[in-house]
Structure 1
Amino acid sequence: MTAGPTRPPLPGVSADPSPAGTPDDRAGLRGTRRGMLGLAAGLALGAAFLSPEARAEETAAAETATAETAGGGTIIRSHGISTFGDLKYPPDFAHFDFVNPDAPKGGTMVFRGTGASKTFDSLNSFILKGEPAQGLGLLYDSLLTGAPDEPDASYGLIARGIEYPEDRSWVIFDMRPEAKFSDGAPITAEDVVFTYDALMEKGQPSYQITLRDIASVEALDPHRVKFTFRPGVPSRDLPAMVGGLAILPKHYYDEVDFGESTMTPPVGSGQYHVENAQPGRSIRYCRNPDYWGKDLPVNIGSSNFDCYQYEYYGDDNAAFEAFKVGDYQFHQEFYSALWATGYNFPAMDEGWVKREEIPDNTPSGTQGFWFNLRREKFQDPRVREAIGLMFNFEWTNATLFYGLYQRTDSFFENSPMQAEGVAGGEELAVLEPFRDRLPPEIFTEPPYTPPVSGEQQIDRSALRRASKLLDEAGWPVGKDGLRRDARGATLGVEFVDDAPTFERIINPYVANLRRIGVDARFSRIDAAQMQQRLKTFDYDIIPTRFVMSMSPSIELREIFGSAAANAQGTANLTGLADPVVDALIEQVIAAKSREELDARAQALDRVLRSKQIWVPNWYSGKFLIAYWDIYGRPDQPPPYSRGDAFWWFDQAKFDKLRAQGALR
């Protein structure tokens, strides 16, 4: 089983709240496991809208309209906001198109818990201290929420309506008076102000980057709150971004230190609470029977389980064995070898377990081996290119992955934002002002794409090209067969990971690198060490995947921006600090149409690929899922989600399997 309601794509966070993966051919997923880093919890973007009983009286207030201000500017009043174009759903919509509005409520959905340490010791995911449990986003609602069939839109949740000027320089949220925290206290504008202040003062460093364009937050009255943005900043996505903040209770944190890790279940604003948490073993979230928003249209057909539970396992093999006997009942597969050969256990043979391949219509993510450019030895891009050339994807895919994957070459793989061919048109116009600061080939050649290697583990042409690059970069081969610089220091490269299963991929890569004189090695460290080294950027190369949004925006500052390069706990794992990249990121954020966004993202992609900051890995463009046959589900999943967040517990199916002895 899997966890709670689906969230729309967030900065660096998977659209589904269930575990995004485990090490091996999905390449680490460290970019998503701490949120980018904490944004999954801070940017809740939950799922709820206008309640049926309140819809009639609120339609006039929430309906999209315009009015002239005293100064002649247009103020937009609406039930939601879209990045580009109109909203799909009108103010009086009853439910999402793809859900079953009659889905029954009940049962428990259990799935495997993952995390940086394959364990947890904190229920506070907003700070750097501690390792937070999975699923904590279930505890919080936000002012706005997204729809998994409409990636650019947000609708009212705690807010019944919003108003903003055409330039989106500020936004006012009209909050629902009936909204309450889990302890029954009302959710007010003062809580929104407190949330912003707490995140900026004590939250993870990523919040200071993400929220930096906010000039002020003020409570206009108990149920109206205004965000004003700094003059001149790109404001396209700011109303939706601040509307996605998880709302925290001021009255609770008046007595509790927000900056400390804790295992005491916090007061939340969402429809679930922590029922039981056993650090390192399991955590169970159950529905708050007094949740104020249970009949909101966006909740119709979703959040169908009474409880969601995460079971933690010490290693991947133990977890899969537990799934095979039904200890958890929903599993997303990230191991190609298992998918090809491992699904021949008795429950599959009996038809008790089903498996499917579901198309993934979202960008496939930036998956690869990431260089730490803070290390002097990686400053020369020729060194990075040479190291990348020795990863033989074609051999790896055929030998280890059963041919299930394609090579990733773009930071926006599987999307229109991927750069292709020689730059032209609008993309060229975006790049032109930076011509004197970019390599000439940016304007004359297709974007960098890793060459196709041969079927043998070591590709001779790649070996020759890599050796030449290292010679040119000042790393000749010494008498001992190792490459050394002018000071006699060896070119050492350490791959770091905390999972044994990645060894089968990295070890052949290490062997290839050693053939060209690179002193390469793979170090498997424990999960706690891995977490600490990530926070302090203490590594040479790590495997990581960032989930990219359909509409990339402010999160790009944290992954690639200079401000995040040396801020501990941020997602700029490479330490990239480049003014051209910064400028292109701001242009992406400021894009006013989908066409502009695609062209500007293509330009950013082209420049990033030229810098050789990673060794790109692979993608499938599919969700590989297996589950025990105890669920009902809508006929069609939403296009930008795995869809299981809208499933429901089927008591008759469960009783049948239990009668057959399949489940306890």
Structure 2
Amino acid sequence: MKNFPATLTLIALTTPAFADVTISHGFSTFGDLKYGPEFTHFDYANPDAPQGGTMSQRQLFGTPTFDSLNTFIIKGDSAPEVGVHIYDSLMVRANDEPDALYGLIAETIEYPDDFSYVAFNMRPEARFHDGTPVTAADVVFTINALQTEGHPYYRNLLSDVTAVTAESATRVRFDLAPGAGSGLLGSVAELPVLPAHFYDTVDFAESWMDIPLGSGPYEVTTVDAPRTITFCKDPDYWGADLPVNVGRNNFDCFTYEYFVDDTVGLEAFAAGEYHMRVEYRSASWATGYDFPAAQRGWVQQLLIPDGRPANAQGIWFNMRNPVLQDIRVRQALEYAFNFEWTNETIFYGTYTRNDSFFENTDMQAIGIPEGAELALLEEFRDQLPPEIFTEPAHVPNPGGDRPRDRGDLRRAGALLEAAGWTVGDDGMRRNAAGEVLHLEFPDSSRSLERVMIPYTENLKALGIDVDFEVIDPSSWTQRRQAFDFDLSSTAWSVATTPGAELRAFYGSAAADAEGSNNLTGLADPVVDALIEKVVVASTREELTTAVRALDRVLRSKHIWVGGWNLGSHRVAVWDIFGIPETPAPYDFFRNVDFWWFDRDKYDALVAEGALDSGL
């Protein structure tokens, strides 16, 4: 692994003498902070939370397997929990504010009013787990590595970072491109800080199973890939008493159990082999919790509200395939998905359809553009279809009460005919050259088969030769990274304050980057321009206007079959935990850091024979 210099300078920028400079304990994209410099803990934290015990749970985000502990590159199937527990960042988000961060490794943040740079004054007491100080040189190493060899997500996110300089051992400065926008400050502030010396013997750009070194509250203690990974608290954790950590990190250990087959995972939960799971399957939630422990009240089903935007979840079209470059074909594929029947029959009526890429927010485009949104879109009128200005934002057809809605299939068939795909004597769609309309739809989720098979049967009824196959997770990862698919069922999380990360999902620069999050291959100058409007927004009103315009344009392109959302998290727990009475509205997965182990509840279940002792 190459050693990166402590100073990376691409473009030297200076700050005008007349620029106002802010130095603060916290940062918000639009300037509003709930907590002052003397705050002692977040309101949703319990400063008297008991310490100890183990939080054991199913793997995060439904990731079915892992073969790597390097979470920053495209190679391998990494364990996402590594990024959650072992690395500290310069600042950390408050889960009861939409975009505020407060100092962790950084004691203060400094920036001018033109956002031409951002500097962080770091706490000298910050330490990695091996006792080595966390320095500005480690920050420089981290950014350099992510920009040059990291996952495309990071490369896109950091594209406006033009220079990083370690001005002293405890002060690091980022110079930012003109127009980078205030949101980038928060993005760099919450990146993990990696230990440069660890990578003297470990290659950053490769997949590996070495125990990574961090500076966070937990260390990796046990790895049994691809089944289990355990993190236990560093007893000498340097930041335990900081205000952002009071009432947090209460468990001695976190253990994650991996299951490729979620049916097996639920059975293991019912038997008490682990004690918390986020339930992604509506059928399991409705019918799967009838086992004895649940009937006796030892296991509870919690519906925890989610204040974040819904995931951008759906079936994405890979427009790198020339067949899918025709918008009429993509519209036909939309008509073939019967959400209403799927929701009532398979999902027990629990979901709402995703109309928008920013669902469940005021950033979702609604109706015909008006006011500031209309004025923004007018800048691109000659590059947009006329219906953008005259018709409401696209809402997908809901479907009907039968799995195969004839009216929708007729509409889909007409679109395919207009696109030159006609039905032959054998019932297959062919173009003028006699080529069959063939689509590859690989997936790694057995639990989604029951949804996707009816959809693909509708596609076959249209005369499309679709190959839907559930493959092993590693193979699917490789195919997705190489864009070796036509359809992909995938969900992306959406930030409460969208910004530069949008480039990674919808920007032209990411369209051809192997392993990028731009699954559709979308490369459109208007989309790029609107993303930049989001990035440089100076008020939340400007941000909302720009995101609505972006949402409207993205929806007009029909790049996906919009999926579904619940607006809450379905969480099943063995009743052995303490949970804050009023959870913070944002970021459920980080809120679990503020739970605690309730020894009395646990001992009571052990006494009843519900659980084995040992935690």
TM-score, normalised via structure 1 length:
0.88
1:383–1:473 contact (8 Å) kept in structure 2: yes
> For each residue in 1:347-366, what CA deviation from the matched residue of structure 2 results, as whole angstroms up to 9, or x when unmatched?
01111001121211111121
The correspondence of residues 460-539 of structure 1 with structure 2, limited to 5 A, is: 460-539=406-485
- CA drift of 1:286 comes to 0.6
Letter in 1 for 2:147: M
Q: Does 1:662 align with 2:610?
A: yes
Q: Measure, in 2, the Cα distance between the counterparts of 1:442 and 1:326.
A: 54
User: Quick one: which amino acid aligns to residue 488 of structure 2?
Assistant: I
Which of these residues, 182, 193, 200, is aligned with residue 140 of structure 2?
A: 193
Deviation of residue 446 (structure 1)?
Answer: 0.2
Aligned residues: 595
Counterpart for residue 430 of structure 1: 376
2:379 aligns to what SS in structure 1?
A: helix
Q: Which moved more, 1:110-119 or 1:513-522?
A: 110-119
Match of 2:399 in 1: 453
Match of 1:150, SS state, is coil
Does residue 157 of structure 1 match 2:66?
no
Q: How far, CA to CA, are the matches of 1:281 and 1:210 in structure 2? A: 32
Shift of 1:115: 7.1
CA distances 1:228-287 after superposition (whole Å, capped 9, x unpaired): 112x23221122111112111122222332223222212212111111111112111111
Contact kept in structure 1, 2:77 and 2:474, CA below 8 Å: no
Summarize deviations over 1:485-541 as a string: whole Å, max 9, x none.
111111112321122222211111122122222222311212221011011000010
Distance in 2, Cα, partners of 1:116 & 1:405 = 18
Distance 2:337 2:112 in 1: 51
d(CA) in 1 for partners of 2:140 and 2:587?
32
Check whether the contact 1:115–1:133 (CA below 8 A) recurs between aligned residues: no
Query: 1:614-633, aligned counterparts within 5 Å?
Result: 614-633=560-579
Q: Contact 1:330–1:626 (CA<8 Å) still a contact in 2? A: yes
> What is the CA–CA distance in structure 2 between the aligned matches of 1:200 and 1:71, rounded to whole Å?
30
1:448-480 deviations in Å (ceiling 9; x for gaps): 111232211222221221111111111111121
Q: SS at the partner of 2:392?
A: coil
| Aligned amino acid, residue 229 of structure 1 | L
1:140 is aligned to 87
Alignment map for 1:640-651 (pairs within 5 Å): 640-642=586-588, 643-651=591-599
1:254 maps to what in 2? 200
Q: Is the CA contact 2:57–2:274 (under 8 Å) kept in the aligned structure 1?
A: yes
Match in the other structure for 1:123: 69
- Does the Cα contact within 8 Å between 1:116 and 1:531 map onto a contact in 2? no
* Alignment correspondent of 2:525: 579
Distance 2:314 2:33 in 1: 35
Say which of 506, 514, 520 aligns to 1:560: 506
Task: Name the counterpart of 1:548.
Answer: 494
The offset of 1:192, in angstroms, is 1.1
**Could you say what secondary structure the match of 2:430 adopts?**
coil
Deviation string 1:388-436 (CA, Å, 9 cap, x unpaired) is 1011101111111111111111000110010001000111011001111
Measured against aligned partners, the alpha-carbon deviations of 1:572-626 in whole angstroms (never above 9, x if no partner) come to 0011111110001110111111111111111000100010100111111111111
**What are the ranges of 5 or more consecutive residues in structure 1 without an aligned counterpart?**
1-68
Identity %: 53
* Conserved 8 A contact 1:406-1:620: yes
Q: Against the structure 1 CA distance between its residues 255 and 519, is the aligned structure 2 distance closer, same or farther, given a 3 Å change threshold?
A: closer
- Partner residue of 1:212? 159
Distance 1:449 1:461 in 2: 17
- The residue number in structure 2 matching 1:385 is 331
Q: Return closer, same or farther for 1:254/1:432 CA change in 2, 3 Å cut-off.
A: same
SS in 2 for 1:277: strand
Q: CA RMSD in A?
A: 1.4
Contact 1:116/1:527, CA 8 A, preserved across alignment: no
Task: Say which of 350, 353, 369 aligns to 1:404.
Answer: 350
Q: Deviation digits for residues 7-62 of structure 1, max 9, x if unmatched?
A: xxxxxxxxxxxxxxxxxxxxxxxxxxxxxxxxxxxxxxxxxxxxxxxxxxxxxxxx
Distance between the aligned counterparts of 1:619 and 1:212, measured in 2? 31
Measure the CA separation in 2 of the matches of 1:322 and 1:384.
Answer: 41
Taking structure 1 as reference, are residues 139 and 559 closer, same or farther at Cα in structure 2, changes over 3 Å only?
Answer: same
1:341 is aligned to 287
Q: Say which SS state the counterpart of residue 155 (structure 1) adopts.
A: strand
CA–CA separation in structure 1 for the residues paired with 2:396 and 2:61: 31
TM-score by length of 2: 0.95
Q: Distance in 2 between matches of 1:435 and 1:446?
A: 16
Cα offset for 1:340? 1.2
**Equivalent residue letter for 2:133:** P
Provide the secondary structure at the position in 2 that maps to 1:151. coil
Secondary structure at 2:316's aligned position in 1? strand
Report if aligned partners of 2:422, 2:430 keep a CA contact under 8 Å in 1: yes
- Cα distance in structure 2, aligned partners of 1:573 and 1:446: 26
- The residue that corresponds to 1:652 in the other structure is 600
TM-superposed deviation, 1:70: 7.9
Secondary structure of the residue aligned to 1:603 is: helix
Matched, 1:304 2:250: yes
